[in-house]
Structure 1
Amino acid sequence: MSTPQDLGAALAAAVASRSAPQMAMQLPLALPTDTKIALLKQMFQSMQEPNKFEAGQLIKWKPGMQVRPYPLGGDPAIIVRVLDHPVYDGTADAGSPSFKEALDLQVGCLGPQGQFFIFHLPSFRFEPF
């Protein structure tokens, strides 16, 4: 069985091999089916692992969980506030990965010119930095 590091490396290599037009068209990853199954199981398990976050804590995307452009993958972000009651993404497209997602964190990160952005994001997609 593959380790999480092996699967992460396979995913990173497959994503890195894509050109910008392929990324824009969202072509499927060229991975063997058994690797895709292992990745799906690993990501599902990762979603089930809760983290107790608090304001001021540094976080990053969990592997394979980034579905939004910011914070940039691998970069640290900081929790501005943990919401007592999540807000829900109002994306109208049910085919979107963020459709009706519970957004229970306010997360600060650096923008392209170093500006401080704050986003509402779902905690299950993050882990401590």
Structure 2
Amino acid sequence: MSEKQDIRKELLGTLLQSLQGEDSLGEEKESSREKESYGEEYIVQLKDACNNFLKKEFFQVGQLVKWKENLNNRKLPSKNQPAIVVAVLDEPIISSEEESGSPYFLETLDIVLGVLVDNNTFLTFYYDSRRFEAY
């Protein structure tokens, strides 16, 4: 057998092994995630995020706001980018997201914020005000 044939045979064998082992590798990764323990830092951060989310702040039209720590669930505004309160809704809109596994499922949208994007274009979006704090 030539050297090229040996290399091809070896590569083919390696490829077949990796394809056959995909399922067991996936299962192995899954079980290692189940066994992963979360340290004290994670627990503290989780509790802080929950407390921040539950702490309701009241905003006024024209006020500048930003995301609370660990509560950014949208692309805009960016992490520390200020947004301006355009409206505070008396009756919140409940998100119509139908997939219960989505972070937007039945989200309470009670504030309209404006941000500048791209070429300083002013856009407005609806948000859950519990995710924001004064800028």
Q: TM-score by structure 1 length?
A: 0.73
Secondary structure at 1:83 match in 2? strand
1:106 matched to which residue of 2?
Answer: 112
What is the alpha-carbon distance in structure 1 between the residues aligned to residue 43 and residue 118 of structure 2? 35
Mapped to 2, the partners of 1:59 and 1:100 lie a distance apart of: 23
Residue 127 of structure 1: CA displacement? Answer: 0.1
2:50 corresponds, among 39, 44, 57, to 44
Show structure 2 runs of 5+ residues with no match: 1-32
CA distance in 2, matches of 1:112, 1:99: 28
Report 1:16-27 matches (<5 A). none
Count of aligned positions? 101
Matched residue type, 2:70: G
TM-score in terms of structure 2 length: 0.70
Q: Offset of 1:32 from its aligned partner?
A: 5.0
Runs of 4+ residues deviating >4 angstroms: none
> For the pair shown, which has the larger CA radius of gyration, 1 or 2?
2
Shift of 1:79: 0.3
* Percent of aligned pairs with the same amino acid: 35
One-letter code of the match for 1:72? Answer: S
Q: CA RMSD in A?
A: 1.9
Residue 123 (structure 1) aligns with: 129
